[in-house]
Amino acid sequence: MTQACITIKKMTMAYGDFIIQRDLDFKINQGDIFVIMGGSGCGKSTLMMHLIGMIVPSKGNIYYGNENLWGPNASNQRLLLNKTGVLFQSGALLSSMTLGENIALPISEHTKLNKKNIQEIVDYKLSLVGLAGFSDFYPSEISGGMQKRAGLARAMALDPEILFFDEPSAGLDPISSKLLDDLILNLRDNLNATIVMVTHELASIFAIGSNSVFLDPESKTMIAEGDPKKLLKTSKDERVIKFLSRSKKL
């Protein structure tokens, strides 16, 4: 039986009295490339922010394994979140630091490794994303696609069990986007990581997505879950079919 990595139970997301999504109930399984999808304004990125502990649910719970992310023990939450790495849409690299310094930052903050060992890890992470030899480059000196890969290397700095990506292909040309998809697949397979991805890019959804949840902005709840390829073939909900069969980006 596949083990649940993250379980969302009866969760509502809201800003004050304004409901974004309600009654969310789904599981992210170990080894999934899990896609959070839906039309613009449905709350995809907001859901990711809840999952990484940046926003408290209005109702319901988020479990990492059997542990409640928002339980009473704050130190336990930190331990749970230390298992994660996040790649934000912009890459969020610090422009005043080299790529190597960006990747080294979380390692130096959360471990007691010496500079030599940290540099070895930095070089290894850069090699994993195809950026060997770029440690001394600044973000402004490399392309957008390379910045995304450098951001991914930093997200992997502490060997997380779960990686979160917010629109990883945004702003990339089709070739760079395909290369990033291939990289994500390789990382999942080689590192045995679970990946949670916010995206509306159909090519990526069908190429690498193995599980998903579909958020609907009108009903303000989830209306489908499962393998996106199977949803396209079996769903009888017109909103899901329209989203997954569209010929252009939303």
Q: Are 61 and 1 in contact (CB under 8 A)?
A: no
Read off the pLDDT band of 247 (50, 70, 90): very low
Distance of alpha carbon 69 from alpha carbon 9, whole angstroms: 12
20 has a pLDDT exceeding 50: yes
Domains annotated for the chain, with CATH where assigned, are 1-83+161-250 (3.40.50.300), 90-159 (no CATH)
Q: Residue 194 — very low, low, confident or very high, per pLDDT cuts 50/70/90?
A: very high
User: Alpha-carbon distance 204 to 199, whole Å?
Assistant: 8
pLDDT band at 177 (very low <50, low <70, confident <90, very high): confident
Helices 144-155/174-191 angle, 10° precision: 20
User: Residue type for 155, please?
Assistant: A
- pLDDT of amino acid 2: 62
Q: Report pLDDT for 235.
A: 94
Instruction: Give residue 74's pLDDT band: very low, low, confident or very high (50, 70, 90).
Output: low
Residues 42/215, Cβ–Cβ less than 8 Å? yes
Query: For the chain, how long is the longest CA-to-CA vector?
Result: 57
- Residue 154's CB is within 10 A of a number of other CB atoms, namely 27
Greater model confidence, 248 or 49: 49
Q: Does 88 have pLDDT greater than 60? A: yes
State the chain's mean pLDDT as an integer.
91
The count of C-alpha atoms lying within 13 angstroms of the C-alpha of 126, restricted to the half-sphere facing its C-beta, is 22
**pTM reported for the whole predicted model:** 0.89
H helices within 168-210, ranges in order? Answer: 174-191, 202-208
Cβ proximity of 197 and 212 under 8 Å: no
Mean pLDDT value of segment 204-233: 96
Tokens of 85: 């790495």
Distance, in Å, from the CA atom of 98 to the CA atom of 26, rounded to the nearest integer, reads: 39
pLDDT of residue 250: 40
